[in-house]
Amino acid sequence: MKAVRLHEFHQMPVIDDISEPTAQGPFDVVVKVGGAGVCRTDLHIMEGQWDTAMGTPLPYVLGHENAGWVHEIGAGVTNVDVGDTVILHPTPTCGLCRACRAGQDMHCSSSTFPGLDGSDGGMAEYLLTSARACVKLDPATRPEDVAALADAGITAYHAVRKVIPLLYPGTTCAVIGAGGLGHIGIQCLAALTATTIVVVDRNPDALALAEKLGANHTVVADGKHVDAVKDLTGGKGADIVLDFVAEEGAENDGFAMTRPGGSYSVIGYGGSLTIPTLDIISTERNIIGNIVGTYNELAELMVLAEAGKVTLHTKAYPLDAAQEALADLDAGKVRGRAILVP
């Protein structure tokens, strides 16, 4: 089968012909990939940023946002059948550890992360995963339309869901970045809360999309955006800031536009947040981290997606054009999400 494999850090991946995976264990599921999301994390992987944490052996297949159709199942699989349309939680988990039993799938002590930790991901014709990762979808759903919800979607949804109790009517939530993750987060906020949504981005096209998706106000990130957010909030700052960028200075701007007693929630990454500890204790501002989301949150998000309340704005590329898709993403040419379609 064809697969997009990374052979060296700081280099583009290449299209290789490799063997198709097969179901070996009782709970294995092989999925025929119908759509694989192209994520900024893939760019970070290519730069070697995850190698220290994951110890990634090269080469391996990229792709951690996947949806498709069940192709083969192990003898113990009962929740899906061959032919079912599925979206895949990005981290197949054990179901037995304390984190899994507490519903904190992303902290499973023995999970894998295909496409990120060195195990083969879904930028290929077929992907090996587990029964626990499969969320069955309406058969009419096109995998390429929802694939990016598997990671970008649940990461954004997870971040919003955590702060819902703090976003009662009369509050303001500032969203930094209206790109691949941010445009999903805006829709989740609009669907699940009554907060006033202020979106900050340096790209006018991204802000125009944000307005269509439910933003009440948009602010151009032009160096004056922190003051602009404060002006919109009576000089106080936003109650919650969701930072889908968190690099190139956005992380420090995000904390600065958070009101005293508010919360700065970090979803993007790559930068360094520098804060005097006195500024934290004197203003009682909170910092919240977010990584992926739970299986149940993915299932909840798919309810919103199938109801039309959360939609992905995508640009499809054939699998052979993976290098072009990654280059376009890196150059800021993709509005929403790029999707590889085998």
pLDDT at 73: 98
Total tally of structural domains belonging to the chain:
2
Whether 129 and 192 share a structural domain = no
Whether 16 and 71 share a structural domain = yes
Whether 325 and 272 share a structural domain = no
* Average pLDDT, consecutive stretches of 10 residues, N- to C-terminus, the chain (342 residues): 96 97 96 95 90 84 97 97 97 94 91 91 97 95 94 95 97 95 95 98 94 97 97 97 95 97 95 93 96 93 93 92 95 87 96
| Residue range of the domain that includes 115 | 2-151+292-341
Taking every pair of Cα atoms in the chain, the longest distance, rounded to a whole number of angstroms, is 61
Whether 78 and 219 share a structural domain = no
| Pair 108, 100: CB distance under 8 Å | yes
Q: Domain of 97: which CATH number?
A: 3.90.180.10
Overall pTM surpassing 0.85 (yes/no): yes
Whether 280 and 306 share a structural domain = no
